[in-house]
Structure 1
Amino acid sequence: MIKDLNTQTYALLDLSSKVEYALLALLELAGNHSKKVPLTMSEITAKQPIPERYLEQILTNLRRAGLVQSQRGSKGGFVLVREPWQITLLEIVTVVEGERKDKDNSTSPTLERSLVYEVWEQANTASIEVLKSYTLQDLCQQREARLQQSPMYYI
């Protein structure tokens, strides 16, 4: 039996845990950026549910790509290299997931196959445009707006 497609949610472009954790870590660094004080991995994991070993790998990758900088010492940790408004979500996804590889079409293309790939390419292009249009600053502003909307409970 076919279900009503309008009521279904499909994850055409699934968010990998690597990308999710990188975005969460960078969101914390972006929120702390104006203070010019590094955040340690422990401080990040205290605020976000990221396994510390996994976070270490992600931050190393982000450091190699030039998005974050590590500072050693007792007041060390990680800081963003650039302003949050200069870092797009597309840049982060590309750093974490790597460059997109074109699909190998070594089998003979049929009309139907070409049609399917054209639609999939349109969906991919649309997702790239959305990721390109959002920055870390946008996420920080959206987080602040939602925190201000949340009701406060006093005991």
Structure 2
Amino acid sequence: MELSCKSEYALLALLELAQHHNDGQVLQIKEIAAHQSIPDRYLEQLLATLRRQGLVRSQRGAKGGYSLARAPWTISLLDVIQAIEGEDLTRSRELPTADPTPEREVLLKVWQDVQAAAVAILQKTTLQDLCDQQAQQQRANLMYYI
């Protein structure tokens, strides 16, 4: 399982929105793009997809922008990746096999276990978890020793 650039950008944008969720602030595409180094036009497409999937909402007008449609602790990374990639990651995928041998069956079982573990981590990890980890990382980076 690999994180696509598209999913990474979507997660970065949502993380930016999650950090402003409690203050009720909406963010414009150019603000998010600048903070997260995401191309504006690409971000616009990603946010449109996320809006259609019910993860963000948009507000029109001069003071318009985007905000999370749900609380950050209710949006899992799996929700985001599935919304962006358009596929059900919980569905088991099989490795292409020419003919079923015991060795290939063993490899297939291990691969299915790996996929299930990855899905479980994505499902239990929320945007709030990422915000908390980021804040902790920033505090650790600010600490200095005498």
Deviates more, 1:142-151 or 1:26-35: 142-151
Deviates more, 1:79-88 or 1:141-150: 141-150
CA distance in 2, matches of 1:108, 1:141: 47
Matched, 1:114 2:105: yes
Choose the corresponding residue for 2:78, options 90, 93, 102. 90
Match of 2:38 in 1: 50
Give the deviation of 1:104 after TM superposition.
Answer: 7.5
CA distance in 2, matches of 1:136, 1:96: 15
Q: What TM-score do the two structures reach when normalised by structure 2?
A: 0.89
CA distance in 1, matches of 2:113, 2:122: 14
Matched length: 141
Q: Percent identity?
A: 48
Match of 1:140 in 2: 131
Give the deviation of 1:114 after TM superposition.
Answer: 1.5
Inter-CA distance 110–79: structure 2 relative to 1 (3 Å threshold): same
Matched, 1:150 2:141: yes
Give the deviation of 1:118 after TM superposition.
Answer: 0.8
Q: Aligned partner of 1:32: which letter? A: H
The structure number with the bigger radius of gyration is 1
Q: What TM-score do the two structures reach when normalised by structure 1?
A: 0.84
Give the deviation of 1:105 after TM superposition.
Answer: 5.6
Kindly provide the CA deviation profile for residues 3-61 of structure 1, in whole angstroms up to 9, marking residues without a partner as x: xxxxxxxxxx2221011100100000000111112100001011101111111111011
Matched, 1:127 2:118: yes
Choose the corresponding residue for 2:7, options 19, 22, 31. 19
CA distance in 2, matches of 1:15, 1:106: 24
Give the deviation of 1:110 after TM superposition.
Answer: 2.4
Q: Aligned partner of 2:43: which letter? A: L
Aligned CA RMSD, in angstroms, stands at: 1.9
Match of 2:64 in 1: 76
SS of 1:34's partner is coil
CA distance in 2, matches of 1:137, 1:151: 21
Judge conservation of contact 2:94–2:108 (CA < 8 Å) in 1. no
